[in-house]
Amino acid sequence: MVSKVVRCMKKIISLVLVIFVIIFNINVNAVSVKEAIIESKDEVIVNEEFDLKVKINFSDFNKEDKNGLGIALVYYELLFDDNVFNIINIEDNYLNSKVYKDKDNKYYVISSLSKNNENKCNDKILYCSDYEVILKLYAKRKDDNNEIKIGDVIIGLLPMINSKKEITEEDVTLINVSGKSNKVLKIKENDVQLGDINDIVILKDKIEITKQMVLESKDNSYSLDEKDNYIEKLEISEYDFNFKKYTNDYILKIKEDVMKLDFKIELSNKDASYEIIGNNNLMDNSEIKIEVKAKNNEINTYKIKIIKEKEDIKEIEEKKNFFNIDFDNIDYKLIGIIVGSILGLILIIKLIMLLHDRKLEKKIKKL
């Protein structure tokens, strides 16, 4: 009797679940995610490159199931002291991964679908495997704060349908992995110096993952380039100008007779545009502005304060006039006085010498 009741209850529960799924359109094939893992050697040497591997284990993938889900985007915050560690690059096999940094010096990693993806789901669009990327880092100096962490991970999933149905935001599943992972590294001293190089896109604001970004990743079209309003390379003709991409304020000394500068500018993103303001009739303390407008219309302004070298120009002119005499303005009267004085002085000297010789001659005759 008890067994019949149990079987009956199981049937009722199953029926209720089926009805619940149908009514609320719940996807029972959701991908489960385990805690993200950081792998690296335990000891690193200052200024020597080392690998930090980030792994996220996925399960319940079924490449043959068209109703299943595949990965479109993976996002997580990378926590470390950038006075101690520096990121050089990021490598992966199947995803398009980049490292970003916001205005508060917080670092993020976004991995989205790659056109060269060889490990695909059955629709040949989505990614169906465990996540794994390698971050290339080095330790700048020995320090007690030598821990690297990853924060909560957000996974963007899309259904693996292979039909003409248009996928909308309702089809997007965002999974927030609650687990965090960290790696404590022992740092040893080293005399070798390594340049401060990296491949990081600097952003003004924190990245917020949206369902729209996941949809765009499916077509490999999502890019933070739309916020890129930086100058990659800036040169000024006839001047040794030390330009840095993320430095906005400069001072430039120019000659007093220069009224305009000749710029050569290369933008970080080809879809951005720029405008040079104040580069005409340059005066002392003038300011030239270069406004770079990103694809999303956000403007980043570089400023160059102009200082005119008046004293240096005056010295050059004085040297020039020394060798190039202006005969139209010569004071001939003054020159006559100077020449006459010199000739008079010569005659006086000769007269004195003549008198001295006569006296000497008389003395000789007396002997």
* Range from 79-83, 141-145, 174-178, 347-351 that averages highest in pLDDT: 79-83
Global confidence as pTM: 0.60
Over residues 73-98, the pLDDT tens digits come to: 999 988 888 888 888 888 887 788 88
Q: Where in the chain is the domain with CATH 2.60.40.680?
A: 27-222
Burial of 62 from C-beta contacts in 10 A (0-12 / 13-18 / 19+)? middle
Is residue 346 classed as helix, strand or coil in its secondary structure? helix
Per CATH, is 27-222 categorized as 1.10.1200.10?
no
Write the DSSP symbol of residue 161.
Answer: -
The amino acid at residue 46 is V
CATH fold of 231-311? Immunoglobulin-like (2.60.40)
Out of 187-201, 230-244, 317-331, which region has the weakest mean confidence (pLDDT)?
Answer: 317-331
- CA–CA–CA angle 358, 362, 367 (5° rounding): 150
- Residue 23, pLDDT score: 37
Over residues 186-213, the pLDDT tens digits come to: 888 876 655 555 557 777 777 888 898 8
